[in-house]
Amino acid sequence: MKTKISTLFVGMGVAAASLMTTGCIEETFPTNGATEDQLGASSKATEALVWAMPAYLNTPLSLADNHYEWGYGAMMHIRDVMTTDFAVVASGYDWFANWALNQNIGSTTGRAQYIWNFYWKSIQTANNLIAAINEETATEAQLGMLGNGLAFRAMYNLDMAQMFEFLPSDVYPAGTKNPSGNDVTNLTVPIIKDGMTEAEARNNPRVTREKMAEFILGDLNKAEQYISMSPFKGNKALPDLACVYGLKARLYMWLAGEGTSENTTEYLTKAKENARLAINLGGAPMSKEDCLSTTAGFNTLSCWMWGSQLVAEDDAVKTGIINWTSWMSNETDFGYASAGAFNMIDASMYNRIADTDFRKLMWKAPADGALAGKESWLKAAYAEATPEYGSLKFRPANGAYQTPNEGAVSAYPLMRVEEMYFIEAEAAARLGEGADLLTAFMTTYRDSKYVCRATTNEELIDEIVFQKRVELWGEGHVFFDYKRLNMSVVRGYAGTNHQDESRFITQGRPAWMTICIVITEQNNNSALVGYENPDPSGKYTPWVGQ
């Protein structure tokens, strides 16, 4: 299988290189959000539209046959490698290196195009369902399915809004104008509604965070009304009422930002309230046994509020190597990660985790570490091959490390109840309510000996966010915390395990966390001309200290 990876890498690498020499992508992705409402005529047809949404999450090779194209999991991975937390061993097999190295991610690149296309196509799958259901004539089951679609659309729009919103950075500080001379601060993306005409879509401006939040909240309020009627209630491949509250909690934390808005207290209060509603409905946190299982560790849908489940018939599984397990599990004989692009936790982050916290066993301890040799491995050879700080979090399904048609039939989380505990704790801390919520979660579920040693509110918030980073490592969420809280990326320090070219030290949020809007969209949507995000590529110099 390693030969297969090598062969495909060379072939696709040539194709990608050829594409990039054109300067921009010639193929234009449809931007009108057109839908086919006739499919709502029967329940069965509507059900097909429902299942198109989770199916698209794992569509591989959807743009230009690049091996970073494997759906929503790839979006999560892209976001993670942009932070401090997620390090990857330098390797010719790492198709995500440009995002970690801040190279060639501007508006004319295939990498920017893939992000843009994936999200708009995902929104289109939700719009197809939403447009197919007439609320006045729909059955109760169809209204429930409408709730599923609205929650999916809300998740995608919230992701995009946060990824594309221009926020100041050390490279582009407050007051900076884009290359066209316009101030795009707090502009997100255009809103693509169901039923839009082509003319509307071709003159559809970026909206402010407030306007986008209003639209997302409208979807979530309606989803809250309908989603419990869904005939698929209990199927965790689809969002339920707990997930609607979870999305509201995320939305209000985004709006709260760094706390400079006059409405910050209101947003934090609503985030805290909605997180608690999600906790009440979202089930129990994963146990130590759930997390550290060599066969079912972080690959089992039943452990989460909402997740994505691959099946043997999925094209992503059939590729063998262009799927979640290939890229996220260091313990396979068939994947990209184990071929050399090993996933690691940042060394400084690992060293800050208490040895009594069982989560620390989800990464390989350094040889002189207190936990060296105490990890659980699928086989001894992986213990030898995996670098220090290498991940053991995401296991191949059923422990099937040799066979992708079984090991890649895995699941990955879109929302876990643990996230809600940390949102609640952060919101409470920022409202001046102390460390009780953090301590209760940690001592009950993660480390019975945990003691919060923060002496100031600033230290408490930092500790909460740190524990959230540990909890959600590799799940694509902490990017949003870095960006909203203006957190620095620090990869250059003595003992770092980040590859040389990615050892950046930023002053606050890095410019690369504002994703570029692609030139093809500007070519097809006149309202975006002149309102592009500036390109961050190559704007930082790696740390070269000792």
**241-256 helix and 417-430 helix, angle to the nearest 10 degrees:** 40
User: What gap in Å lies between CA 8 and CA 299, rounded to an integer?
Assistant: 26
User: What's residue 42's pLDDT?
Assistant: 65
Strand, coil or helix: what is 185?
Answer: strand
User: What gap in Å lies between CA 82 and CA 63, rounded to an integer?
Assistant: 22
Residue 45 CB coordination number (10 Å): 13
What does the DSSP 8-state code read for residue 444? I
User: What gap in Å lies between CA 399 and CA 523, rounded to an integer?
Assistant: 47
CB burial class (10 A; 0-12, 13-18, 19+) of residue 332? Answer: buried
User: What's residue 288's pLDDT?
Assistant: 98
Please give the C-alpha separations between residue 260 and each of 264, 265, 463, 497, in angstroms, as whole numbers: 7, 10, 21, 35
Instruction: List Cβ neighbours of 18 (8 Å cut-off, separation of 6 or more).
Output: none
User: What's residue 231's pLDDT?
Assistant: 97
User: What's residue 260's pLDDT?
Assistant: 81
User: What gap in Å lies between CA 30 and CA 53, rounded to an integer?
Assistant: 18
DSSP per-residue string spanning 90-120: --TT-TTHHHHHT-S-STTSHHHHHHHHHHH
User: What's residue 2's pLDDT?
Assistant: 42
What does the DSSP 8-state code read for residue 40? G
Give me the chain's average pLDDT, please: 93
**What is the reported pTM?**
0.93
- Mind listing the pLDDT tens digit for each residue in 270-300? 999 999 999 999 999 999 999 999 999 999 9
**What are the residue ranges of helices labelled H in 282-408?**
288-292, 315-319, 324-328, 336-339, 347-352, 380-385, 404-407
Low-confidence ranges of the chain (pLDDT < 70): 1-42, 546
CB burial class (10 A; 0-12, 13-18, 19+) of residue 407? Answer: buried
Please give the C-alpha separations between residue 72 and each of 1, 239, 309, 394, in angstroms, as whole numbers: 25, 15, 12, 16
User: What's residue 31's pLDDT?
Assistant: 36
Maximum Cα–Cα distance across the chain:
69
- Mind listing the pLDDT tens digit for each residue in 1-31? 343 453 333 333 333 333 333 333 233 333 3
Which residue type sits at 169? S
User: What gap in Å lies between CA 149 and CA 19, rounded to an integer?
Assistant: 34
Q: Residue 148 in contact with residue 214, Cβ under 8 Å?
A: no
Q: Residue 400 in contact with residue 430, Cβ under 8 Å?
A: no
